[in-house]
Amino acid sequence: MKAFLILEDGTVFTGTSIGSKREVISEIVFNTSMTGYLEVLTDPSYAGQAVVMTYPLIGNYGICREDMESYKAWPDGYIVRELSRIPSNFRSGDTIQHFLEEQDIPGISGIDTRALTKILREKGTMNGMITTNENFDCDEAVARMKNYSVTGVVKKTTCAEKYVLPGDGKRVALLDLGAKMNIARSLNERGCQVTVYPAATAAEEILAENPDGIMLSNGPGDPKECTDIITEIRKLYESEVPIFAICLGHQLMALATGADTHKLKYGHRGGNHPVKDLETGRVYISSQNHGYVVDMDTIKSETAVPAFVNVNDGTNEGLKYVNKNIFTVQYHPEACPGPLDSGYLFDRFLKMMEEGK
């Protein structure tokens, strides 16, 4: 069946329908990873977005459900050059085509994803529509797209209630802002008992349980929309509990302490982004998935100092808070699959908890 991708600027791509046949309007973003399509599909940070995979062949190793980063898929749509319908992998339990159908995710294959990515790089991230309706009205579709914005996605992706991953070591409170499972898993593997809290949990409830450390997770959407959460994070900042924050958590901590954020032209999404440790000068290859960054010009020197910087475009990739046991990063040290260069940050967090007691 034919499918069409219509962009907000009026560009139309014609391809083949994959997954669900329903029509969807979403923000179109691209990911440059060569592997890890299942982790991309199950990353809650993609809620409200349709993902373009720049690597030309997707699905060749099938679906290995134990690698999922969430209990379900989150993107609104999926856009690929070629979809492999016959996976080859001893761990594979399903095809990506069936997975997309099961998860009710509409998609399109057979289009020039290189040309599409160039449009998004040159003009910036924009909204788009995926449809199987051959009689679509382009002007009407574009008008509808202009009214679309990504909202309410943290509430949509966070856990419904508190739960605990048992461990014999440090007790970590993880605020689930749309967390990937591998964050809790990375802490749990290091012996930590991880208590996962819904995003709307009051700071007083978390602090009342006297955790050894607090983890603020990744998540989707515009950080400035999370006004109530920012208020609670400010209270966590004012406590003496060690805090480690990733991605959205990093942005929210910055907003809670007086800094500002802004949207990137087309974001950082992929597994090959170089970040430089400003203390040691060492460069790490990182996995990233974000469309917003902390504005370095708004960081107060008495509050925090830049700790990491993106080598490609100079944007902020991490902060070390002054006179606080708090550090935050924009990228994903828990990435899997992907570069494991930054896994040591979890060990740094454990050391910080040891010294904080």
pLDDT digits (tens, 9 = 90+) for 166-222: 999 999 999 999 999 999 999 999 999 999 999 999 999 999 999 999 999 999 999
Q: Is the pLDDT of residue 357 over 70?
A: no
Average pLDDT, the chain: 96
Q: Is it true that the peptide bond before 306 is cis, omega within 30 degrees of 0?
A: no
Annotation: binding site:
45, 219, 221, 248, 251, 289, 291-292
Comparing 147-161, 219-233, 337-351, the range with the smallest average pLDDT is: 337-351
Binding-site annotation, residues for L-glutamine? 45, 219, 221, 248, 251, 289, 291-292
DSSP-based three-state secondary structure for 172: strand
**How confident is the model over 268-318, as pLDDT tens digits?**
999 999 999 999 999 999 999 999 999 999 999 999 999 999 999 999 999
One CATH from 1.25.50.10, 3.40.50.880, 3.30.70.600, 3.40.50.300 for 154-356: 3.40.50.880
For residues 75 and 156, the answer to whether their CB atoms sit within 8 Å is no
- 288, 331 Cβ separation under 8 angstroms: yes
CA angle 203, 204, 207 (to 5 degrees): 85
CA–CA dist 338, 86 (Å, integer):
24
Q: Where do the structural domains in the chain lie, given as residue ranges?
A: 2-150, 154-356
Give SS3 for 21.
coil
- 30: its two tokens: 């691209």
Structure tokens at 262: 């802004």
CA 292, 294, 298 angle in degrees (round to 5)? 140
26 CA to centre of own chain: 16
Contacts of 208 (CB under 8 A, 6+ apart): none
Determine the CATH number of domain 2-150: 3.50.30.20
Determine phi and psi for 245, rounding to 5 degrees: -130, 145
Residue positions annotated with a catalytic role? 247, 332, 334
Q: How far apart are the first and last CA of the chain?
A: 61
Kindly state the tokens that stand for 40. 């991309």
Task: Report the alpha-carbon distance of residue 268 to residue 149 in Å, rounded.
Answer: 19
pLDDT at 145 over 90: yes
- The pLDDT tens digits for 322-350 are 999 999 999 999 988 878 888 999 999 99
pLDDT bracket for residue 78 (50, 70, 90): very high
Query: Over the stretch 86-97, which tens digit does the pLDDT of each residue have?
Result: 999 999 999 999
Tens digit of pLDDT for each residue in 41-73? 999 999 999 999 999 999 999 999 999 999 999
Q: Are 55 and 34 in contact (CB under 8 A)?
A: yes
Q: Are 55 and 84 in contact (CB under 8 A)?
A: no
